[in-house]
A and B are shown apart, each in its own frame.
Chain A
Amino acid sequence: MEKKVLYEIKALYRDDLRVMGYEFGEGEETLCILGSLRGNEVQQLYVCSQLVKRFTELEKQGRIHAGHKILIIPTANPYSVNIKKRFWPTDNTDINRMFPGYDLGETTQRIAAGIFDQIKNYKYGIQFTSFYMPGNFEPHVRMMKTGFEDVEMAKRFGMPYVVIRETRPYDTTTLNYNWQIWETHAFSIYTTTTESIDKESAQMAVRSILTFLAKEGVVDYKGHDGYLSQVVIDTDMVPVRTKVSGIFEPKVKVGEEVVKGQVMAETIDPYEGNVTEVLTAPVDGMVFFAHNEPLTYANTAVFKLVIREE
């Protein structure tokens, strides 16, 4: 393992910003894994730390096949992580809206360019990312429909779900999109949480990546093969929305099966304690996404269900 500073900015008073990379093996640039680009992506950082630990063991045991280089970047934004701020500390810009970056541009454009320049030629790219709404997810591999996406390859992770979604205007400046444009096989992996540690889904992500690499002939790993992934189109999921704001009291968790009509959550009047709304399952399904904050706004999709048909 070789530990490298991939990108550095000198600060006025803070310690210098150093984006650290951990390289394993030598040869073709095979796999790059990137953890948090935002300051609240703690689970994403944790999963990468577990991957660094695991690849260190694999390398010592000679189980990374010759001719393959693997790079892990646990975070590209330690400055924001250290002050518990989601976006860049000084101007609140999002590094994941700056790719492919510009080396003579503004600070986050430079960081994006500095990193992307070193990771754009990898054969496979994996990013642990997060959703803009607070909530927990069923672990899955997510891909944008760019025309370059390879769904069959995504299934090789053996995660329970592969989710495909349409691109939106802002996607063109994300890492995942630009990786795909540069012909990297790019995948976003969602584990259950973002701002708290969930060991179970983190370990699932580690196993999934090792399973994928074993199938691609990159590492020697004989673990559980994982799931036969179900492919889900994002827009086919059924949202369950609140009609009113208030205190949110969920009755089901991510991963649970629900039947049509089952009570999924209640909203409570924050002054008087009365139930103001009972949210029920509109279909038989599995809870794929669940809001995880104590308050909710009206019109919020607090659950997303994958339809189950018997």
Chain B
Amino acid sequence: MIETVASVGLPVGEVLEIKKNRIVPEYGDEKVWKRISIVTGIHGDELEGQYVCFELLRRIAAQQDKLSGIVDVYPAMNPLGIDSITRGVPAFDLDMNRLFPGDINGNMTEYLAAKIVEDITGSDLCVDIHASNIYLTEIPQIRINELHKDTLVPLAMKANVDFIWVHGASTVLESTLAYSLNSRDVPTLVVEMGVGMRITKTYCDQMVDGIFSLMKELGIWQGDVPEPRKPIISEDEEDVCFLNAATSGIFVQQVKHWERLKKGDMVGQIIDPLNGKVLDDVVSPVNGILFTIREYPVVDAGSLLGRLLREEILDR
């Protein structure tokens, strides 16, 4: 059933509506039903979650008799952003994921954020699906604030991702949806996968399998689910090595994503098309595996080109 989570009139003949689709079992005792919320589209340029929502609903509809709990699907938290190919909230140039928990009496964006938190609160689990940005491709992973790791890591293990990254607490992250929900006792997993403005079907299918696995874990799904992948878990910031551009130019990658590299292996080149010269050979600074790779070729000095997980953690 399609429900409206929040609604605001825009200046000229248009209403902004945030919608969700609630799927409930065909029979059973609703008092014992658990509830999972699948959220995506907070950033309007991240589209991987669109296919996840579609495929999840399609598979549930195909075996609706196996459903034993509530599934809420929120495909577009920032509908103006998605429909206008804008990462933030259009007209405000604000990152929606820096507005939570919002304010029910606040400005339009704060009001929307507050309504979203209000609606999701009460879920037994929330999965917030992101797709990196237009610059970087990410291997399917779950990022967890260390403050919430005891609750979230065991759940993330069931999510069929390749990597779980437990990162340090940061004051800035307190304004994210995930932080607000975790603080309200709604365990919330933040998924990062793929790249902005694209749909990577293999990653999306992998994530849908993961959501079914989580639903099975919570008792929301009675059908068969594939055994989830065993993810690499990183809890030490030293596990991750960042690769930043030494100079401005055009980055051309020469490796595959999720490839094992030896220290000194070529990752790509930064080139100068005007002079026909190579400005920098980008090489791996460590032995490891590349879990983030630069997708958008134009780089400034400092632009992130990739992230590697050190070899030591892979063999741990």
Contacts and interface: CB of A to CB of B under 8 A. Distances in A.
Contacts of B172: 97, 169-170, 172-173
B243 to A, nearest CB: 11
Contacts of A298: 8-9, 108
Contact of B107 (A173, A247, A299): A299
Contacts of B88: 92
A92 B303 CA distance: 12
A86 B88 CA distance: 13
Interface residues of A, number: 39
B302 A133 contact: no
Given A172-B171, A297-B10, A299-B107, A106 B244 contact: yes
B145 to A, nearest CB: 13
Contacts of B248: 9-12
B75 interface: no
A107 interface: yes
B272 A12 contact: yes
Binding site secondary structure of chain A: loop
B174 interface: yes
Interface string A82-108: 000011001110000100000011111
A107 B302 contact: yes
Nearest to A173: B172
Interface string B170-196: 011111000000000000000000000
A271 B93 CA distance: 26
Contacts of B13: 270-271
A110 interface: yes
Nearest to B250: A12
A81 B303 CA distance: 20
Contacts of B106: 299
B303 A299 contact: no
A103 to B, nearest CB: 9
Given A170-B175, A299-B111, A110 B302 contact: yes
B298 A133 contact: no
A111 to B, nearest CB: 8
B11 A270 contact: yes
Nearest to B175: A169
B205 interface: no
B301 A107 contact: yes
Nearest to A267: B11
A91 B98 CA distance: 17
Contact of B300 (A92, A104, A107): A107
A301 interface: yes
B304 interface: yes
B304 A106 contact: yes
B288 interface: no
Nearest to A16: B248
A91 B274 CA distance: 23
Which has the most chain A C-beta neighbours within 10 Å: B12, B107, B247?
A: B107
Contact of A245 (B11, B242, B303): B11
B8 A297 contact: yes
Contact of A105 (B94, B110, B249, B302): B302
Interface string A163-174: 000001110110
B87 interface: yes
A180 interface: no
Interface in B268-282: 272, 274
B18 to A, nearest CB: 14
B303 A109 contact: no
Interface string B84-99: 0001100111100010
Nearest to A245: B11
A270 B12 contact: yes
Interface string A279-310: 00000000000000001111111000000000
B135 interface: yes
A245 B175 contact: no
Given A11-B300, A132-B92, A270-B12, A169 B174 contact: yes
Which has the most chain B C-beta neighbours within 10 Å: A90, A97, A241?
A: A90
B171 A87 contact: no
A80 B90 CA distance: 18
B211 to A, nearest CB: 29
A90 B298 contact: yes
Contacts of B302: 9, 105-110
A246 B173 CA distance: 34
B301 A300 contact: no
B10 A245 contact: yes
A170 B99 CA distance: 10
Interface string A117-133: 00000000000000011
Contact of B11 (A86, A109, A133, A246): A246
Interface in B106-138: 106-108, 110-111, 133, 135
Q: Which 9 A-B pairs have the closest CB atoms?
A: A107-B302, A169-B174, A107-B300, A245-B11, A295-B11, A110-B302, A172-B171, A297-B108, A270-B12
Given A132-B93, A169-B174, A301-B107, 10 more contacts: A9-B248, A10-B247, A10-B248, A105-B244, A107-B303, A108-B302, A168-B175, A170-B175, A173-B172, A270-B11
